[in-house]
Amino acid sequence: MQASTSILSATAIDKIFPGARALDGVDFSLHRGEVHALLGENGAGKSTLVKCLTGAYRRDGGRILLDGADVDPQSTLEAQNLGIGTVYQEVNLLPNLTVAENLFLGRQPKRFGFIDSRDMNRRAKALLAEYDLDIDVTAELAAYSVAVQQVIAIARAVDLSGKVLILDEPTASLDAHEVAMLFRIVRRLKARGLGIIFITHFLEQVYDISDRITVLRNGKLVGTRATADLPRRDLIAMMLGRELVQEVAAEHGAKGEGGEVRFRFRNFGRKGHIQAFDLDVRRGEVVGIAGLLGSGRTETAEILFGAERADSGTAEADGRTLDLSSPRSAIREKFGFCPEDRKVDGIIGDLSVRENIALALQARRGWARPISRSEQDRLADDYIKALDIRTSDREKPIRLLSGGNQQKAILARWLATNPDFLILDEPTRGIDVGAHAEIIRLIEELCGKGMSLIVISSELEELVAYSSRVIVLRDRAHVAELVGNQVTTDGIVEAIAASAGKADA
């Protein structure tokens, strides 16, 4: 029964960040010789769990057993030495070193006190031969494709660790052929008795390679199932949390549908980002965008806002052609955009809440027409009150606020510009329950005032609550549009699963 014994088991793992519980009593166990898929949307806690396992984070509670012994890795290096190796999506190797140097960094074979390059290269070649990889190991890593780099990273991790291999979205940028090559290697390692944790958002790959599936949602364990016993539809429901919702579709059926079409996008797209799509948005309407991670949700938002310039198609508002060639011109057309990654693309961390709120309006007015200080104060105070932004005062640097309050401040930044068209990318991610409800209430309010909104969310019940229509994305293309009574969580799950099935065939 060697094959079914647990090699790694984590019980009741807690991880608390200031203002948020990232992991809440999560149990996870990995068997020898199995591929275990770890699934969940962004912010579900899967990367936090992996970081707790690999020592990148210190857990705040729970036990981790490796081969039956308690372990508490303080760093990835220590975890690596214990036998837990990790390969990330952005390959964590050094592109400026040669393949052989990457494989043997820190443990180069020596001769007379100096590195024996010939021996190192010979060993590197032998190591890679186990993976059917016959390449020039003296070339820089950067010279090879991401797929080859992934294999090299796996070879290094297995060579160093050899008990548990964690693959964090390894296939995100690989083509079908490369994925097949990678999976051949994964199967071989599995046969050697390694426990493999596989994180991905490609469901067909999950069904292709994994033995068991664990799903996390909002930092909690949803469940662990054998892959063979879990239909795709049920899996999507687990990931997107349909079980919480009782359908009330009839109520929203009529929402916004009566208004005239205000924004009209035709054949709008950009090669390599999002396949060209048609989209109509009415006055006072919320159009929801659903799809799994990597399906082209953020790409859709970026192209609508000009953060990535469209290379095909037209955009019109009330029959007038829009210039969406840059964020600046999009803002001039009264567009607004709350990006998904608040910290990187949203907040200006060192500036005050007041300045963060005034920024977009000020940028649109131009530098020569400053918003007076008293006007800024009034603007900030108004929005702090209206959106209930919890801050000791408006002069506090925004980085000191909690995620939910940062999100509200960025919303305020756009509301201050009085936009006609507002794009919200995951507006409720990673924020506490209270702020969550307030933001949903706000979306409904804005829509009531006649604003047109595009909301991207992986919280399906939320989407259903406020959207009059939902666009479903997959593989960077718009694949379905649900209207009226079709807008239910079941309907969305169905649409995602159906299109997924279609692509598999």
Partner 1 sequence: MSATLKAYAVRLFPQVAALAVILLMVSIAFPGFFRLEMQNGRLYGSLIDILNRGAPVALLAIGMTVVIATKGIDLSVGAVMAICGAVAAAAITSGHSLAMTLLITLGTGILCGLWNGILVAVLDIQPIIATLVLMVAGRGIAQLITEGAILTFNDAGLIFIGSGSLFGLPMPVVIWFAFGVIVALLVRRTALGMLIEALGVNRRAAMLSGVSTGVLLIAAYVLSGLCAALAGIIAAADIRGADANNAGLWLELDAILAVVVGGTSLLGGRFSIAASLIGALIIQSVNTGILLSGFPPEFNLIIKAAIIVLILVIQSPRAQSAFVFLSRARASEKKTAGEAK
Partner 2 sequence: MNPRYLPLTATIAIFLIAYAVCIAQYPNMLSTRVIGNLLTDNAFLGIAAVGMTFVILSGGIDLSIGAVIAFTGVFLAVLLQATSIHPLVAFVLALAITTAFGALMGAIIHHLEMPPFIVTLAGMFLARGMAFVLSIDSIPIKHPFYATLKSAYYKLPGGGRITLIGGLMLLVFALGILIAHRTRFGANVYALGGGTATARLMGVPIGGTTIGIYALSGFLAGLSGIVFSLYTSAGYSLATVGVELDAIAAVVIGGTLLTGGSGFIAGTLVGILIQGLIQTYITFDGSLSSWWTKILIGLLLFAFILLQKGLIHVTDRRRRHA
- Could you say whether residue 425 binds partner 1 (CB under 8 A)? no
Tokens standing for 503? 């692509």
Find the helix packing angle between 353-365 and 373-386, rounded to 10°.
120
- Could you say whether residue 225 binds partner 1 (CB under 8 A)? no
User: Which of 22, 124, 194, 331 contacts partner 1 by CB under 8 A?
Assistant: 331
Q: Write the DSSP string, 64-115.
A: EEETTEE---SSHHHHHHHTEEEE-SS--S-TTSBHHHHHHTT---EETTEE
CB of 366 to partner 1, least distance (A): 8
- Could you say whether residue 359 binds partner 1 (CB under 8 A)? yes
* Contact window for partner 1 (CB under 8 A) among 248-256, 269-277, 349-357, 473-481: 349-357
The number of helices, as runs of H, and strands, as runs of E, in the chain is 17, 22
Q: Give the total residue count for the chain.
A: 505
Cα–Cα distance for residue pair 485/235, rounded to 1 Å: 23
- Could you say whether residue 337 binds partner 1 (CB under 8 A)? yes
Question: Choosing among partner 1, partner 2, none, which partner's interface includes residue 96 (Cβ < 5 to 8 Å by kind)?
Answer: partner 2
Cα–Cα distance for residue pair 480/113, rounded to 1 Å: 64
Question: Choosing among partner 2, partner 1, none, which partner's interface includes residue 208 (Cβ < 5 to 8 Å by kind)?
Answer: none
CB of 467 to partner 2, least distance (A): 34
Sheet holding 35-39, edge to edge: 84-87, 164-168, 195-199, 35-39, 212-217, 220-226
Question: Choosing among partner 1, partner 2, none, which partner's interface includes residue 385 (Cβ < 5 to 8 Å by kind)?
Answer: none
Question: Choosing among partner 2, partner 1, none, which partner's interface includes residue 478 (Cβ < 5 to 8 Å by kind)?
Answer: none
Residue of 210, 129, 202 lying closest to 170 (CA atoms): 202
* Contact window for partner 1 (CB under 8 A) among 36-44, 253-261, 355-363, 469-477: 355-363
Tokens standing for 417? 């510009």
CB of 325 to partner 2, least distance (A): 22
Residues 152-191, one symbol each (x = binds partner 1 by CB under 8 A, - = not), give: ----------------------------------------
- Could you say whether residue 373 binds partner 1 (CB under 8 A)? yes
Cα–Cα distance for residue pair 430/40, rounded to 1 Å: 14
- Could you say whether residue 348 binds partner 1 (CB under 8 A)? yes
Please give the residue ranges that form the binding site for partner 1 (CB under 8 A): 305, 307, 327-328, 331-332, 337, 339, 344-351, 355, 358-360, 362-371, 373, 395, 413
